[in-house]
Chains A and B, each alone.
Chain A
Amino acid sequence: MSDAPHPSRRLDDTVHQRVRLGILAVLAEADRADFTYLREQLGLTDGNLSRHLQVLEDAGYLRLRRSFEGRRPRTWVSATRDGRAALAAEVAALRQLIARLDG
C-alpha cells in the first residue's frame, strides 16, 4: 500500500468550492476580469459573487481594484501568483483523484 497521502487530502477547501474554482478558472486565462463578467459567466447574484470574492481575497488568491469609468464604478478582479498556484494544485489533485479512482 502506498504511503502517499490520498489526493483528496490535497484539495484546498477555499479553492475546491465550485464557484470559487470557477472564478479562479476564469482568471487563469486573463490578466483581469470585471465583476459583471464574472457574475454573468458563473450565473451568480451580486451578493453571492461578492461573498466568494471576499473569501478568495482574504486567502490572498485575488486582488480587487475599484475604478470609475465616467461616473460608473467598476471592479476589476485579478488572480495573485498564489491564486494561480492554488488553481494549478487543485486541478492536479483532481486529476490524481480521477486516475486513482479509475485505476
Chain B
Amino acid sequence: MSQTLAPVRATARPPASLRRVFAAAARSEWIKLRTVRSTIWALVLTVVFAIGLGALFTAIEVSRWDHQTLTGLNRFDPLLYSFAGLNLAQLSIGVLGVLVMTSEYSTRTIKLTLGATPQRSVLLAAKVATFSAVVAVVGLASCFAAFWVCQALLAPKHAGLSISDPGVLRAVIGGAVHLMLVGAIAVGLGALIRRTAGAVAVLFAVLLVLPGLVTLLPAPWNNDITKYLPNSAGAAMSAVVRFPNLLSPAGGLIVLCAYTAATMILAAVALTRRDA
C-alpha cells in the first residue's frame, strides 16, 4: 500500500535443508518434553520402577537363599531379578511415549506443530529421536543403578556379578535399549491412534495381555510364538543366562527393531496422509 514503509522481506531465503528442519524440530521437541510436568513424573516413575522393583525382588531372593536347592542356585540368573523392574518401567516409558503424540492431539497443538514443520515424516523422526535420546539417558542410568544395587544385595551370598563379567555390560545396555525401543513403538502408536486411552490400551494389550493369551495356545506353538513377542524379545536383550524360551540377545534386538520399524513406517504414512 504505502511505498514509504519498510518492505517486508523482499529477499528470498535459500531453502533450509531437511537436516536443518530435523535439527530444529528436534530442539523444539526437547523444549516440549522438558516443559510439561508429565515428563518428569513418568521418568521418575521409570527410575523408581527399574531400581526399586529389581532391588525388592533381589532382596526377597536373598532372604530365601538358604532354602534353595543346588540346581535352583545353578540356574539362577543374578541379573534376572535386577531387571525385573524393566517390566513395569517399560509401561511408564510407553505411556510417556504415547503422550508425546497424543497430548498434541488432545491439546490441539498438533495444528501448530504441523504448521511449523509441514515435513511430517521429518517431524515424526525428530519426535522419536528426541524422546529416544531422553529414554536412553534415563534407561542407562536406571539399568546401571539397578544392576549395582542388586549385585550389592547379592554380594553377601557371593552370587553377585561384576560389570566386567561376560555378557553383563551387554545385558545392562540391552535393558536400556529395550526401554528405548518400546518408547519409540509407543510414539508410533500415539501417531496412529491419536487418542491417549486408545493408544495406551493397545500398548498394554501388546505388552501385558498378548503374552498371557499366547501361553494358552497348544505346545509347541505357545513357546515358539512367545519368543517373538515384543516383551520376550526385549527381555532376551537383558538376560545373561540363556533361557530356552527366549531368543538370543541379538535375536531379541533384531525382532524388537523390526517391530519398531514397522510401527514407524505405519505412523509416518498415517501422519502424512491424514488431515491434521
Partners in one complex: no
